[in-house]
């Protein structure tokens, strides 16, 4: 994996574009990158919750310092769509 990334990086050393077209309009590259990171982090939190429930809470937990500074929602799950088996 590291070699694949290194080869890609070597072939694409140009600076990223200042703006990107997204489904929610033209956005600064830095905003798209930040949104991508915290969106993925939210899904990782959800997967972490599922794994810990499957092993009765004994599985590994994401160290909170890795999530520090990300604009994540307080809740792991969306209030509109509860996790299966969970009552609201």
Q: What is the pLDDT of residues 11-63, one digit of tens each?
A: 877 778 899 999 999 999 999 999 999 999 999 999 988 888 888 767 778 89
Domain boundaries, the chain: 32-59
Instruction: Name the band, by pLDDT with cuts 50, 70 and 90, for residue 4.
Output: confident
> Measured on CA atoms in the order 71, 72, 75, 80, is the torsion positive or negative?
positive
Structure tokens at 73: 């929602």
pTM, rounded to two decimals: 0.67
Distances (CA, A) of 24 to 3, 30, 55, 64, 87: 34, 15, 38, 30, 33
Q: What is the pLDDT of residue 57?
A: 64
- How would you classify residue 69: left for phi > 0, otherwise alpha for psi between -120 and 50, otherwise beta? left
Instruction: Name the band, by pLDDT with cuts 50, 70 and 90, for residue 85.
Output: low
Q: What is the pLDDT of residue 88?
A: 54
For residue 77, pLDDT over 90 is answered with no
Distance in angstroms (rounded) separating the CA atoms of residues 59 and 52? 5
């Amino acid at each position: 994996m590291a070699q694949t990334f290194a080869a890609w990086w070597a072939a694409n050393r140009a600076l990223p574009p200042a703006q990107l077209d997204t489904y929610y309009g033209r956005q600064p590259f830095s905003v798209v990158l930040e949104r991508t990171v915290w969106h993925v982090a939210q899904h990782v939190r959800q997967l972490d919750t599922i794994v810990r429930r499957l092993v009765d809470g004994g599985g590994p937990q994401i160290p909170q310092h890795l999530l520090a500074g990300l604009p994540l929602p307080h809740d792991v799950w969306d209030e509109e769509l509860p996790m299966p088996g969970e009552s609201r």
